[in-house]
Structure 1
Amino acid sequence: MYDVVVIGGGPGGYAAAIRASQLKGKVALVEGGNMGGTCVMRGCIPSKIWLRAATLLEQSRKAGEFGLELTVGKLDFTAVLARKQGVSNDIRMGMEALLANNGVDVIPGMAVVTSPTSVDVAGKKVEAKSIIIATGSTLAKPDVPGLDQAAFTSDQLLDMTEAPASVLITDPTYIGVEMATLLSILGSKVIFAVPGPRILPDEDQDSSQRMSQSLRERGVQIIARHTLVKVAGKTCTLKSGDKEQTVEADRVLVSGRKPVAANLGLETLGVKFNEDGGIAVDQQCRTSCPGIFAIGDCTGGWMLSHAASAMGICAAENSMGVPAKFPSHLVSRAIWGSPEMGSVGLSEEQAERKGYEVEVGGFPYSINGYAMLRGEVDGAVKMVADADTGEILGVHIVGSNASELIGEAVLAMQLECTVREFAKGFRVHPAFCETVVDAARDAAGWALYLPKRG
């Protein structure tokens, strides 16, 4: 009998298996496809390779600002695809090697949970003291008449050999924003129709507005408060209340995700599910069935690779008798747009709805020396803190290197650093990271490089 059986070899399952093995557990990992899951093969890594290529293309067009005379050609899609496949394969093989190095038994096949201590893999019974479900997510295709003929899935986009002439995007989340950025740089006409008043509805309003502005500046048409209801050829019908309008698009991007949690045998064991179909778990990543844990995308929520990995560590430690809690408030988010966006914790609006009296500090990239010398002045840092205690409730960054800078905020919140303690820090100069300290100083009431408050 194993101590732990992990179902799914994505970032969460991989982390769970290795952590349980480090704690002297006998561990098996069941995987029905390629190791690495959506992140490595069809998500995080491939999409960022495309975005890196697009960003370099965009930067090369601005080389003249630094005295460089370059002839900028077209993007070689075949070369990008080859790099994507090569990097994904390298990561996958590295994961397989590390699992073997840690003594994890990898069992190929699809698993069905038959009891709290056993799973069935192609007719073979595998027993374990604990089971960790890490089955990930899959594409969620909207039920829209006519969509089948026009659908352009995120998987297809990552394997494209040319950019479509025009695309309608309806996903208001980070995936939609990244794909809108990518396709607009590659020359596609992009229409972004979202059901609510803005893109990125769960993020800070100021950040959302900055990202919207950056998309509009590169020609993206954003249509708020409209839902796609019908597709006929290239004609897409959008509805807002009782009013309809049509837009023309060659393809409609399908990029939403839904948990893979059905047909695993969990229903017969009394496992509870969330409204979005994800497996319900507590702070220890335990399901309602003793001995069964669930992590990552299959639990719904943010569906982020690093969150899955952190949940995997948490579940592994609890399954091996080491008490642990998943700090969901520390899950950071990033968008590799142009500019980037990074965030963690509560937005100003969310904090106020929770009853906090907030103090807010901000600092624009436009007066940061490093941003100025690089010609990357679009963006700002916003810090939200509890006015009574100084607790940092959230940090929101739009601008170059935001995906890296947000790590400073995560660490500060993890160590329960107050905004005034953060403001006392200093950073190397010149650098983007100075903006985070400057935002903290503004929140604390003593910004050095901003006009005095009235």
Structure 2
Amino acid sequence: MEKKQTDTVVIGAGPGGYVAAIRASQLGQKVIVIEKEYIGGVCLNVGCIPSKALITASHHYHQAQHFDVFGLSIPQVDVDFSKVQEYKEGVVNRLTSGVGTLLKGNKVEVVKGTATFQDGNTIKVETAEGEQVIQFKDAIIATGSRPVELPTMKFSTRIIDSTGALNLSEIPESLVVVGGGVIGIELAGVYANFGTKVTILEGGKDILGGIDGKMTSIVKRGLKKKGANVTIGVFVKSAEEKDGRAEVIYEEKGEEKTITADYVLVSVGRKPNTDKLGLENTGVQLTDRGLVQVDSQCRTNVANLYAIGDIIAGPQLAHKASYEAKVAAEAIAGMPSVIDHVCIPAVVFSEPEIAIVGHTAASAKEAGIDATETKFPFAANGRAIALNETDGFVQLVTNKDSGVLIGAQIIGPSASDLIGELTVAIESSLTADDLALTIHAHPTLGEMIMETAEVAIGHPIHIVK
């Protein structure tokens, strides 16, 4: 049995783990990162990155079929899905190999295997070459999450999770998506663009729970234009394979219904990977949901053990995990780093894109803040009109008394890029006046931030007050 000693061990090499390992090494620590499956984690391999590659390919395919508005005629648009998958894999491989290079360049040792805590200073790793024992001073747990599997919808060849949906070898003729959350809506959009007959079954009052209904209505309208059927307020009882297809039984308004499709994508949430780590051998406290409890430095109740990302409270976002990774690594080095962000942006890569940060008008009211909500439509922006993408709006939420920006919501093209400026504005306590007085280049989509701020302070130029 091989034995090793290190200063800091990181479990998991996803966007939390590999960032933690690199930052810890930069701060002079000897670091080992343990990864049982993918360098880059779920995000780079079977999550954020490959899904965006497929979203991009499907968007171009759908656009190419409607280029006549620009005076362009393409007689026939074909798709070779094997080449689409090759493109996706190329994107993934480029990024994961880049992470490997970064780890090597920062002198981080990578151990491929499954880690189990023996105690608060020892980890056993099952590798392909045999067992290793690693003794450490500090550990950062960054093991991420996995899709929830329901007893009534067991994963199989035809009943798949998000990973399965990303790796299909063919474009299905029909697809049922159980769950209208972010992952479900993004992947439903991919296959709707490619011509699949998509049915979305959502149990809640609307898709994309928690997002403004003015935004979700635009996304639903876009899906329906592509032939997708969005059904909300249903209870999905079961899904099973039958005769080479998948059958779903659900209840809608008290009536039991059945639908069959080539595949069923079950996307009803993710659960933290904390159940097979041997944490019971360390004394680390977990919540009823299996989340690790941490303080503002991502430190658990055991002083030398830290946790970040999907396994602690908060949104399951890669950029949140990376932020926490740096805080944990710096805390181990004795720096006074703490989680001190005001807000975390979130993006839905639907069509059109949705990006949100900070308060909504409703959440501000719940927090006892007297807030004002103002918006500006993409339809009044020259760049959006030239792009022929005019659905959506920029919406700002400001403190009524001070004018300070406390929240923002965008739905429209490039919303994911535009939200960065507004995140900085909120973190910096900028006011609507500050944004209105900042000159934005013309013609750009970013101008709408300035235009919305002008609405907020009472003198809009390009819409009637």
Give the structure-1-normalised TM-score: 0.94
CA deviation after TM superposition for structure 1 residue 451, in Å? 1.4
Q: Which runs of 5+ in 2 are unaligned?
A: none
**Inter-CA distance 66–89: structure 2 relative to 1 (3 Å threshold):** same
Give the match's secondary structure for 1:11. Answer: coil
> What's the Cα RMSD here?
1.9
Instruction: For 2:109 and 2:238, locate their aligned partners in 1 and report how far apart those are by CA, in whole Å.
Output: 48
Give the match's secondary structure for 1:81. Answer: helix
Match status 1:245 vs 2:257? yes
Greater shift, 248-257 or 16-25, is seen at: 248-257
CA deviation after TM superposition for structure 1 residue 190, in Å? 1.1
**Inter-CA distance 355–200: structure 2 relative to 1 (3 Å threshold):** same
Instruction: For 2:342 and 2:180, locate their aligned partners in 1 and report how far apart those are by CA, in whole Å.
Output: 22
Match status 1:115 vs 2:140? no
1:438 maps to what in 2? 451
**Inter-CA distance 301–173: structure 2 relative to 1 (3 Å threshold):** farther
Match status 1:349 vs 2:362? yes
Contact 2:81–2:169, Cα closer than 8 Å, also in 1: yes
Greater shift, 379-388 or 206-215, is seen at: 206-215
2:79 aligned residue (61, 67, 75): 75
Match status 1:409 vs 2:413? no
Contact 2:82–2:169, Cα closer than 8 Å, also in 1: yes
2:207 maps to what in 1? 199
CA deviation after TM superposition for structure 1 residue 128, in Å? 2.2
**Inter-CA distance 372–12: structure 2 relative to 1 (3 Å threshold):** same
Match status 1:57 vs 2:64? no
Give the match's secondary structure for 2:37. Answer: coil
Counterpart amino acid of residue 106 in structure 2 = N
Contact 1:150–1:231, Cα closer than 8 Å, also in 2: no
Contact 1:8–1:31, Cα closer than 8 Å, also in 2: yes
Match status 1:10 vs 2:22? no
Instruction: For 2:199 and 2:147, locate their aligned partners in 1 and report how far apart those are by CA, in whole Å.
Output: 21
How big is each residue's C-alpha offset from its partner over 1:396-442, in whole Å with a ceiling of 9 and x where there is no partner?
11100011011111111222212332222121000001112212222
Instruction: For 1:345 and 1:289, locate their aligned partners in 2 and report how far apart those are by CA, in whole Å.
Output: 32
Give the match's secondary structure for 1:239. Answer: strand
**Inter-CA distance 341–132: structure 2 relative to 1 (3 Å threshold):** same
Contact 2:370–2:401, Cα closer than 8 Å, also in 1: yes
2:284 maps to what in 1? 271
2:296 maps to what in 1? 283
1:293 aligned residue (286, 291, 306): 306
**Inter-CA distance 444–143: structure 2 relative to 1 (3 Å threshold):** farther
Instruction: For 1:151 and 1:253, locate their aligned partners in 2 and report how far apart those are by CA, in whole Å.
Output: 6
How big is each residue's C-alpha offset from its partner over 1:59-82, in whole Å with a ceiling of 9 and x where there is no partner?
212222222222332211111111
How big is each residue's C-alpha offset from its partner over 1:290-340, in whole Å with a ceiling of 9 and x where there is no partner?
111111122254221111111111111111111222346422111222211
CA deviation after TM superposition for structure 1 residue 175, in Å? 0.7
How big is each residue's C-alpha offset from its partner over 1:182-203, in whole Å with a ceiling of 9 and x where there is no partner?
1111111111111111111122
Counterpart amino acid of residue 77 in structure 1 = F
Counterpart amino acid of residue 436 in structure 1 = I
Counterpart amino acid of residue 251 in structure 1 = Y
Instruction: For 1:98 and 1:225, locate their aligned partners in 2 and report how far apart those are by CA, in whole Å.
Output: 46
Counterpart amino acid of residue 451 in structure 1 = V
1:236 maps to what in 2? 248
How big is each residue's C-alpha offset from its partner over 1:259-308, in whole Å with a ceiling of 9 and x where there is no partner?
11111121232322234322222332122221111111222542211111
Match status 1:335 vs 2:348? yes
**Inter-CA distance 354–159: structure 2 relative to 1 (3 Å threshold):** same
Match status 1:212 vs 2:220? yes
CA deviation after TM superposition for structure 1 residue 147, in Å? 6.7
Instruction: For 2:195 and 2:37, locate their aligned partners in 1 and report how far apart those are by CA, in whole Å.
Output: 34
CA deviation after TM superposition for structure 1 residue 150, in Å? 4.0
How big is each residue's C-alpha offset from its partner over 1:208-236, in whole Å with a ceiling of 9 and x where there is no partner?
22222222222221111112112354542
1:47 maps to what in 2? 51
How big is each residue's C-alpha offset from its partner over 1:345-395, in whole Å with a ceiling of 9 and x where there is no partner?
222222222222111110100010110111110111111122123332221
Give the match's secondary structure for 2:264. Answer: strand
Greater shift, 106-115 or 270-279, is seen at: 270-279
Contact 1:258–1:300, Cα closer than 8 Å, also in 2: no
**Inter-CA distance 328–220: structure 2 relative to 1 (3 Å threshold):** farther
Give the match's secondary structure for 1:208. Answer: helix
1:190 maps to what in 2? 198
How big is each residue's C-alpha offset from its partner over 1:22-50, in whole Å with a ceiling of 9 and x where there is no partner?
11222111111221111111111111111
Greater shift, 233-242 or 325-334, is seen at: 233-242
Greater shift, 344-353 or 49-58, is seen at: 344-353
2:379 maps to what in 1? 366
Match status 1:447 vs 2:460? yes
Instruction: For 2:327 and 2:216, locate their aligned partners in 1 and report how far apart those are by CA, in whole Å.
Output: 32
CA deviation after TM superposition for structure 1 residue 56, in Å? 0.7
1:225 maps to what in 2? 233
Greater shift, 224-233 or 36-45, is seen at: 224-233
CA deviation after TM superposition for structure 1 residue 149, in Å? 6.6
Give the match's secondary structure for 2:19. Answer: helix
Contact 2:342–2:427, Cα closer than 8 Å, also in 1: no
Identity %: 34
Give the match's secondary structure for 1:383. Answer: strand
**Inter-CA distance 449–315: structure 2 relative to 1 (3 Å threshold):** same
Contact 1:271–1:289, Cα closer than 8 Å, also in 2: yes
Give the structure-2-normalised TM-score: 0.92
1:425 aligned residue (427, 438, 460): 438
Mapping 1:393-408, distance limit 5 Å:
393-408=406-421
Mapping 1:171-190, distance limit 5 Å:
171-190=179-198
Counterpart amino acid of residue 320 in structure 1 = A
Contact 1:342–1:402, Cα closer than 8 Å, also in 2: yes
Counterpart amino acid of residue 308 in structure 2 = I
